Amino acid sequence: MDKVFELISKEKERQEKQINLIPSENIAFEGVYEAVGSCLANKYAEGYPGRRYYQGNGLVDEIEILAQERGKKLFGVEHLNVQPYSGSPANSAVQMALLEAGDKICGLKLSAGGHLTHGHPKITFSGKYFESVQYDVEEDGRIDYDKLAQLVEQSRPKMIMAGTTAYPFILDWEKFGKMADLVGAWLVADISHIAGLVVGGVHPSPSPFVDVITSTTHKSLRGPRGAVIGVTKKGLNKDIDLAKKIDRAVFPGLQGGPHMNTIAGMAVAFEEAGKPEFGQYAKQVVANAKALETSLRSEGLKVYGTENHLMVVEVGFEKGKEAAVALEEAGIVCNANTIPHDKAGPFEPSGIRLGSPMETSKGLKEKDFEKIGKKIGEVIKKLGEGD
């Protein structure tokens, strides 16, 4: 056996045996594996269906159109670009399409649970080329929408990014929409983490209130490692060229040929996520996260959340990485994470981030997550005893 496949086999075994609580990781549907590993990996298809720069694309055109149509129905959008390679290029394409260099962008701070591409200053595309206005969370980890509305009215950004990577509460899309409308800003909902919960009916959809939706297609959605950009009815009504602007920003603006095997995987995942069984899965994801939160609290840990699939847990000043390493040694995989208003740095934060999607995909229920919470409590307590 080639060394590569030997390592892949070991990684498969690791994923099956270890308890994986990283919120952004999941187990893809079986059909997604087949599509991603198919002959479509051989195909170049620069351009869009009916407008390719290569010949031999008749069949892949049909596949991309199928992915678009299934995704539009799933996300409740009028137009869907399925070509972004991942979530960061998707967000960058939207910003490139709708903003000019130096325009003001408003997003949640990275340390408060936001994403790098939502305007994190200096080191990202969004923070380098646009003037960034960042909003924060309160001591309880929640967004204060009144404070945010004041910030938006004072700063008058051209774009508001509503999305998170470590925010354990339900987002109020309607309030975001009213703020954006008040100042005439584009409103972009990045639902990468909660896409599966949105389409599964356990988190409100942003579609009626925002102009653009971006999302990865793995995480809670259980698809391939890719991303989509959706334009809503509201967005199209504001600018009839919005869909065209976004398509041009993706290709040729930021990318070359799309990964047709990934797009085929999306089509498979969108079909699966539209079934009633997926709604039951989404409900179980939330129920399991709640059970884990309750168990962790019973162990005396401070938990931020949860109303969705994830939570942030305080483990001691600058102890996040140490806790994550100790948990991995105990067979539980998670990631170190900042807590709200963390006085520690991002490389030695004071918390860990936990999520329920992957273990729910394995079939675990509330009782299992209660046991996992007790195990985590034991590991964290031992760390404290070592001080």
Residue 124: predicted pLDDT:
85
pLDDT in tens, 9-35: 999 999 999 999 999 999 999 999 999
Identify the CA nearest to 70 among candidates 269, 276, 278, 279: 269
Across the range 147-154, mean pLDDT stands at 97
| Separation between Cα atoms, residue 61 and residue 50, nearest integer Å | 7
Across the range 94-103, mean pLDDT stands at 96
Helix-, strand-, coil-residue percentages of the chain, each rounded to 5? 50, 15, 35
Structure tokens, 180: 């954006």
Q: Which of 142, 225, 245, 297 is catalytic?
A: 225
Instruction: Write phi, then psi, for 345 (nearest 5 degrees).
Output: -80, 170
Q: Which of 52, 70, 72, 219 is catalytic?
A: 219
Residue 383: predicted pLDDT:
85
Instruction: Write phi, then psi, for 218 (nearest 5 degrees).
Output: -100, -120
Q: Residue-wise over 293-317: b if at least 16 C-beta within 10 A, else e?
A: bbbbeebebebbbbbbbbbbbbbee
How does residue 386 score in pLDDT terms, banded at 50, 70 and 90? low
pLDDT in tens, 28-61: 999 999 999 999 999 999 999 999 999 999 999 9
Q: Is residue 46 annotated as part of the catalytic site, yes or no?
A: yes
Q: Which of 104, 135, 190, 307 is catalytic?
A: 190
Cβ of 42: how many Cβ atoms within 10 Å? 8
| Separation between Cα atoms, residue 50 and residue 73, nearest integer Å | 21
Across the range 154-159, mean pLDDT stands at 98
Do the two domains 30-273 and 276-385 of this chain adopt the same fold? Answer: no
Q: Which of 117, 124, 216, 360 is catalytic?
A: 216
Q: Is residue 234 annotated as part of the catalytic site, yes or no?
A: no
pLDDT in tens, 249-281: 999 999 999 999 999 999 999 999 999 999 999
Question: What are the distances in angstroms from CA 224 to CA 18, 162, 221?
Answer: 21, 23, 9
Q: Is residue 275 annotated as part of the catalytic site, yes or no?
A: no
Q: Is residue 304 annotated as part of the catalytic site, yes or no?
A: no
Identify the CA nearest to 334 among candidates 380, 287, 387: 380
Q: Is residue 281 annotated as part of the catalytic site, yes or no?
A: no
Please say whether the beta carbons of 356 and 369 come within 8 A: yes
Where exactly are the structural domains of the chain? 30-273, 276-385
Q: Is residue 294 annotated as part of the catalytic site, yes or no?
A: no
Residue where the block lists tokens 């994923």: 15
User: Which of 77-81, 93-97, 316-320, 344-348 has the lowest average pLDDT?
Assistant: 344-348
Q: Is the entire prediction scored with pTM above 0.85?
A: yes
| Separation between Cα atoms, residue 192 and residue 47, nearest integer Å | 25
pLDDT in tens, 224-239: 999 999 999 999 999 8
Q: Is the sign of the CA dihedral 210, 216, 217, 218 positive or negative?
A: negative
Task: Please tell us whether the domain made up of 276-385 is placed in CATH 3.20.20.140.
Answer: no
Contacts made by residues 143-152, CB under 8 angstroms, sequence distance 24+: 143/108, 143/167, 143/169, 143/171, 145/172, 145/175, 145/179, 148/179, 149/175, 149/178, 149/179, 149/182, 151/106, 152/106, 152/179, 152/180, 152/182, 152/183, 152/185
CATH architecture of 30-273: 3-Layer(aba) Sandwich (3.40)
Please say whether the beta carbons of 162 and 147 come within 8 A: no
